[in-house]
C-alpha cells in the first residue's frame, strides 16, 4: 500500500500513515525499539513524470517499517525508490510510466497501478459493496458491462537481488539498492495519467488493482 496526501495546496502520497498499528505499551515499559534502524525517508516533490517498477520490499527497514504491515515479497518502486512519499498539487497533471507486468496468469508478474482512497488496494478483488465505498482517481475504467478493468498495464521491469537479500546488512537505502539489478522484459509499458481534482482528499494511495497490498504484497 502506498499513499499520496494533499495538505492545503498540494497532495502527498504518504505510506507512513497507512495501517497504523500503534498499541499502548504495558505498564512500566516504553515503546519497543525497532530491531533494525529505518532507512532515510524517500520523498518525491516537484516531479510530474514518474516511472513505476516492481522490486523487493526491503525487509524490516523498508515496507514493513513504513506501513506497519508485513509484506508479501514485492513492492512498488517509483523513480528507482522503494515506496516513496509523493507530493502533488491540485490542478496539476501527472504521468506515470508503468512497468508492473501484463501476465494475467501469474500474480507475481501482473501489477496494474491505480490511485485510490483505499489504504488496502485490491479493487478488482473486492465485492461490489466494498467497491462502492472506494473512490478511484486514476487507473481503472469500466467496460460496457460495468466491470472494472485496470488501465495502467504494461511490460514488467523488476529490481532483483544480485545474490542474497542484503536489507539487514544495508545501513542506507542507497547501499541496499547497490545490491540489486533491474531486469526488464520487452514490450511497451503501461500509462497512467492523473489530473488532481480540486476536491481530491489530502491523502490518497497508489496501489495494485488485483490484491490487497497492505496485507499481501508491498
Largest separation between any pair of C-alpha atoms in the chain: 60
Report the pLDDT value the prediction gives residue 212, as an integer from 0 to 100: 56
Give domain status of residue 45, yes or no.
yes
C-alpha cell at 89: 498539487
Report the pLDDT value the prediction gives residue 22, as an integer from 0 to 100: 36
Beta carbons within 8 Å of 5's beta carbon, 6+ residues apart: 11, 12, 13, 14, 17, 87, 201, 202, 203, 204
Q: What b-and-e string marks burial along 85-117, b requiring 16 or more CB atoms within 10 Å of the CB?
A: bbbbeeeeebebbbbbbbeeeebebbbbbbbbe
Report the pLDDT value the prediction gives residue 144, as an integer from 0 to 100: 84
Please give the residue range of the domain that contains residue 45: 2-16+35-216
Domain count, the chain: 1
Report the pLDDT value the prediction gives residue 25, as an integer from 0 to 100: 41
Give domain status of residue 108, yes or no.
yes
Report the pLDDT value the prediction gives residue 72, as an integer from 0 to 100: 65
Report the pLDDT value the prediction gives residue 197, as an integer from 0 to 100: 95
Give domain status of residue 46, yes or no.
yes
pTM above 0.85, yes or no: no
pLDDT along the chain (218 residues), means of 10: 50 43 42 72 94 92 68 86 93 97 90 88 76 88 86 97 94 96 98 96 86 40
Give domain status of residue 30, yes or no.
no
Report the pLDDT value the prediction gives residue 69, as an integer from 0 to 100: 59
Asked whether the beta carbons of 101 and 187 are under 8 A apart, the reply is no
Give domain status of residue 24, yes or no.
no
Closest CA to 97 of 12, 193, 210, 205: 193
Give domain status of residue 22, yes or no.
no
How far apart CA 216 and CA 205 sit, in angstroms, is: 16
How far apart CA 84 and CA 76 sit, in angstroms, is: 9
How far apart CA 60 and CA 67 sit, in angstroms, is: 10
Give domain status of residue 131, yes or no.
yes
Give domain status of residue 27, yes or no.
no
Amino acid at each position: 500500500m502506498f499513499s499520496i496526501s494533499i495538505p492545503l495546496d498540494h497532495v502527498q502520497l504518504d505510506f507512513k500513515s497507512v495501517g497504523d498499528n500503534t498499541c499502548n505499551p504495558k505498564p512500566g515499559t516504553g515503546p519497543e525499539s525497532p530491531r533494525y534502524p529505518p532507512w532515510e525517508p524517500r520523498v518525491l516533490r516537484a516531479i510530474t513524470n514518474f516511472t513505476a517498477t516492481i522490486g523487493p520490499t526491503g525487509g524490516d527497514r523498508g515496507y514493513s517499517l513504513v506501513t506497519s504491515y508485513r509484506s508479501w515479497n514485492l513492492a512498488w518502486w517509483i523513480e528507482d525508490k522503494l515506496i516513496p512519499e509523493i507530493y502533488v498539487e491540485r490542478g496539476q497533471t501527472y504521468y506515470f510510466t508503468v512497468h508492473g507486468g501484463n501476465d494475467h496468469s501469474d500474480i507475481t508478474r501482473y501489477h496494474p497501478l491505480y490511485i485510490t482512497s483505499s489504504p488496502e488496494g485490491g479493487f478488482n478483488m473486492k465485492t461490489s459493496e466494498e467497491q462502492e465505498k472506494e473512490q478511484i482517481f486514476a487507473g481503472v475504467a469500466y467496460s460496457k458491462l460495468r466491470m472494472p478493468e485496470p488501465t495502467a498495464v504494461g511490460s514488467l521491469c523488476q529490481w532483483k537481488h544480485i545474490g542474497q537479500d542484503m536489507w539487514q546488512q544495508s545501513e542506507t537505502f542507497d547501499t541496499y539498492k547497490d545490491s540489486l539489478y533491474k531486469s526488464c522484459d520487452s514490450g511497451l509499458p503501461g500509462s497512467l495519467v492523473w489530473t488532481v481534482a480540486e476536491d481530491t482528499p489530502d491523502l490518497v494511495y497508489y496501489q495494485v488493482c488485483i490484491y490487497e497490498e497492505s496485507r499481501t504484497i508491498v
